[in-house]
């Protein structure tokens, strides 16, 4: 018997990430090739015509798994009964801006959407915030949604997966190993240049990759800055922020959360439970494994002095961002 369709809400549906994302969701790459989906597309009133155009293209793909779609400018409609919500819609940064420069401008969007999710989404809705600054926007949505007591705080996540995937590619290139052979990477903290891509535990076919590379200066002077500033490098090269790779990371994040990682680590930005000394509630990149639709933080990793310093640095930025949105949360 075929499965019942799952409602997937996507905000910013007329934007550049939306254009890369929606076709892959509809083709089954996110929730599985046997899972029908209904797309609930949110964008601003002036973008509704463009959303309709994207829907025409989706129709023209004749995706067998696309069981329906709606377009709306009303968050309460878009999130109604959604089991997955991808919060992409927000202003992207341009050249010379940091992601936190978007904070006050974009934060208001996530108070409204957090309230809509809290009231109308499926109580087990899995929420991924992509719109920047994504950790703090996820924090806002989570806090606001908690006022309604329906969708649990642990369901609000931010996207560190693009950083994770970027780091994997850099490590594969440096070590000469296939990207698919690399296991046990983590990117701690904020989706910003302060993030800490920690390759100390990475293995490839049983070999420790840090040992294979054996170049501490490369870690500090090349790897960490390259991964941390990759978003800016893309903006510089393309004149626009990353879109296809961001959509790909969103697909990976939800796919692995829903369908499981078979014991392997991925990075998710999740509300801290206090693990590794990160204050409870902050949305922070952690190594997780997932099973049956639940993530679990990988515990017991040794944190050396260099790592602790980097983890605290990125945490401090998140604490500052939280302070910056305190008034919005009342
Ligand atoms: N977390 C991550 O790794 C990444 C995050 N991003 C972020 O994703 C966001 C979207 O990027 P793009 O698609 O390139 O931008 P875009 O400008 O092409 O599209 C954004 C879309 O969101 C819509 N929008 C704006 N406010 C909205 C609201 N209140 N409700 C619903 N829709 C709204 C706009 O009308 C537009 O259609 C940006 O904040 C960008 O910085 C981008 C790449 C990676
Ligand atoms: O850099 C940006 O503004 C877009 C983004 O988050 C990324 O590409 O990592």
At 140-187, the pLDDT tens digits run 999 999 999 999 999 999 999 999 999 999 999 999 999 999 999 999
Residues 127 and 197 in one domain: no
Domain identity same for 96 and 18: yes
Q: How far apart are CA 3 and CA 241, in angstroms?
A: 36
Ligand 2 pocket, residue 11 CB under 6 Å: no
What per-residue confidence (pLDDT) applies to 330? Answer: 77
Tell me what pLDDT residue 328 has. Answer: 87
On whether both 307 and 224 belong to a single domain, the answer is yes
Residue 201 resides in a domain: yes
Window from 29-43, 54-68, 95-109, 309-323 with minimum mean pLDDT: 95-109
The last residue of one of the domains, among 98, 127, 158, is: 158
The residue whose CA is least distant from atom 44 of ligand 1 is 246
Q: Is 324 annotated as a binding residue?
A: no
- Using the 3D structure, point to which of 109, 128, 158 is the last residue of a domain: 158
Indicate whether 168 and 154 sit together in one domain. Answer: no
ipTM above 0.95, yes or no: yes
- Tell me: the pLDDT tens digits for 93-149? 888 888 878 888 889 999 999 999 999 999 999 999 999 999 999 999 999 999 999
Give the domain CATH number at 122.
3.40.50.720
Total tally of structural domains belonging to the chain: 2
pLDDT digit string (tens) for 216-265? 999 999 999 999 999 999 999 999 999 999 999 999 999 999 999 999 99
226 CB neighbour count, 10 Å cutoff: 17
Check pocket membership of 137 for ligand 2, CB cut-off 6 A: no
Predicted confidence at residue 319, as pLDDT, reads 98
**147 and 40 share one domain:** yes
Query: Is the domain of 34 the same as that of 144?
Result: yes
For 132-151, b/e burial (b = at least 16 CB within 10 A) is bbbbbbbbbbbbbbbeeebb
Instruction: Report the alpha-carbon distance of residue 85 to residue 310 in Å, rounded.
Output: 31
User: Which tens digit of pLDDT belongs to each residue from 17-39?
Assistant: 999 999 999 999 999 999 999 99
Whether 117 and 205 share a structural domain? no
**pLDDT value, residue 97:** 83
191 among known catalytic residues: yes
Distances 7 to 70, 78, 234, 257 between C-alpha atoms, Å: 10, 10, 32, 16
Give distance in angstroms: CA of 56 to centre of ligand 2: 28
Confidence at residue 99, expressed as pLDDT on a 0 to 100 scale:
80
Q: For ligand 2, is residue 135 a contact (CB within 6 Å)?
A: no
- Indicate whether residue 166 lines ligand 2 (CB < 6 A): no
Q: Is 329 a domain residue?
A: no
**CATH number of the domain to which 186 belongs:** 3.90.110.10
What's the pLDDT score for residue 139?
98
Q: Are 210 and 200 in contact (CB under 8 A)?
A: yes
Nearest CA to ligand 1 atom 9: 131
Say if residue 51 carries a ligand binding annotation. no
Catalytic residue among 164, 191, 253, 255: 191
117 and 177 within one domain: no
Planar angle of CA 140, 259, 295, nearest 5 degrees: 45
CB 92 within 8 A of CB 64: no
| Best of 50, 92, 189 for a ligand 1 pocket test (most atoms within 8 Å of beta carbon) | 92
- Is residue 11 in contact with ligand 1, taking CB distance under 6 Å? yes
User: Same domain for 12 and 137?
Assistant: yes
- Residues 186, 299, 275, CA angle at the centre, nearest 5°? 90
The reported pLDDT for the residue numbered 1 is: 56
Range of the domain at 299: 160-324
Residue 330 lies in a domain: no
Taking only the tens place, the pLDDT of each residue in 254-305 is 999 999 999 999 999 999 999 999 999 999 999 999 999 999 999 999 999 9
**Cα(255)–Cα(32) distance, integer angstroms:** 8
> Is the pLDDT score of 74 beyond 60?
yes
């Amino acid at each position: 018997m075929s499965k019942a369709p799952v409602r997937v809400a996507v905000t910013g549906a007329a934007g550049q990430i939306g254009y890369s994302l929606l076709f892959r969701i509809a083709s089954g790459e996110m929730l599985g090739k046997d899972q029908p989906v209904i797309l609930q597309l949110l964008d601003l009133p002036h973008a509704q015509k463009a959303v309709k155009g994207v829907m025409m293209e989706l129709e023209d793909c004749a995706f067998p798994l696309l069981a329906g779609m709606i377009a709306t400018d009303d968050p309460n409609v878009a999130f109604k009964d959604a089991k997955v919500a991808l919060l992409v819609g927000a202003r992207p940064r341009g050249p010379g801006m940091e992601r936190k420069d978007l904070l006050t401008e974009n934060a208001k969007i996530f108070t409204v959407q957090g309230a809509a999710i809290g009231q109308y989404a499926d109580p087990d809705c899995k929420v991924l915030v992509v719109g920047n600054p994504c950790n703090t926007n996820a924090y806002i949505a989570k806090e606001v949604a908690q006022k309604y007591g329906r969708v649990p705080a642990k369901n609000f996540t931010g996207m560190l997966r693009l950083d994770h995937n970027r780091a994997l590619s850099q490590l594969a290139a440096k070590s000469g190993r296939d990207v698919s052979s690399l296991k046990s990477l983590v990117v701690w903290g904020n989706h910003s240049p302060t993030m800490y891509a920690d390759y100390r535990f990475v293995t490839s076919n049983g070999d420790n990759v840090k040992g294979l590379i054996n170049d501490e200066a490369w870690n500090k002077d090349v790897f960490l800055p390259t991964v941390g500033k990759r978003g800016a490098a893309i903006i510089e090269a393309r004149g626009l922020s990353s879109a296809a790779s961001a959509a790909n990371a969103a697909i990976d994040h939800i796919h692995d959360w829903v369908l499981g990682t078979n014991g392997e680590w991925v990075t998710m930005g999740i509300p801290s439970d206090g693990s590794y000394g990160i204050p409870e509630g902050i949305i922070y990149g952690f190594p997780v494994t997932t099973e049956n639709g639940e993530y679990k933080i990988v515990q017991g990793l040794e944190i050396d002095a260099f790592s602790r310093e980097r983890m605290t640095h990125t945490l401090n930025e998140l604490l500052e961002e939280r302070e910056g949105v305190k008034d919005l949360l009342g």
